[in-house]
């Protein structure tokens, strides 16, 4: 079954290799696409239908019914912000729909704190060849397709 993985934030799609963190850039966590987010306060939305299996103020994983898990990391090193500037709308274990707001945040505030606001969107435990139609350039809206997970 093919899973459509949507952008959790509005912005500009960029290749994972451009993420300023080697763990993401070298796809150590898994393959995917990153989004350089638009500025201003915004909602990060669920990239797929599923269950919130991991939830932190700066990152979350939604797992689909087929077990495919998608990690969304709001910025790089934002764990150091200790949740400041992030508002959770869901709890771990909650069922969510693609496009549902999960976390309110402000990429401009992340930048002002000295961190990169880029948002890696990772297909956990997926082989690189399992992804297709990767969007690695151009503007995207929240909820727009980033890639297919076959």
**Gap between the Cα atoms of 31 and 16, Å rounded:** 8
101 CB neighbour count, 10 Å cutoff: 16
**Gap between the Cα atoms of 96 and 101, Å rounded:** 9
Which one is catalytic: 56, 58, 73, 89?
A: 73
Query: How far is C-alpha 125 from the geometric centre of its chain's CA atoms?
Result: 15
73 is catalytic: yes
Question: Which residue in 117, 138, 121, 95 sits closest to 4, CA to CA?
Answer: 121
Q: DSSP readout, 72-136?
A: EE-SSSGGGGTTTT-EE-S-TT-EE-TT-EEEEE-HHHHHHTT----EEEEETT--GGGEES---
Active site residues: 73
């Amino acid at each position: 079954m093919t899973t459509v993985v949507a952008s959790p934030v509005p912005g500009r799609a960029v290749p994972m290799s451009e993420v300023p963190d080697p763990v993401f850039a070298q796809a150590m966590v898994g393959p995917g696409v990153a989004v350089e987010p638009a500025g201003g306060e915004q909602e990060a939305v669920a990239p797929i239908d599923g269950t919130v299996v991991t939830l932190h103020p700066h990152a979350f994983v939604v797992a689909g019914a087929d077990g495919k898990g998608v990690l969304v990391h709001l910025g790089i090193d934002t764990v150091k912000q200790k949740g400041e500037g992030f508002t959770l709308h869901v709890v771990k274990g909650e069922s969510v729909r693609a496009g549902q707001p999960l976390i309110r945040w402000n990429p401009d505030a992340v930048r002002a704190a000295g961190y990169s606001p880029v948002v890696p969107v990772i297909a956990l435990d997926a082989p690189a060849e399992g992804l297709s139609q990767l969007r690695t350039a151009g503007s995207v809206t929240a909820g727009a397709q980033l890639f297919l997970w076959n």
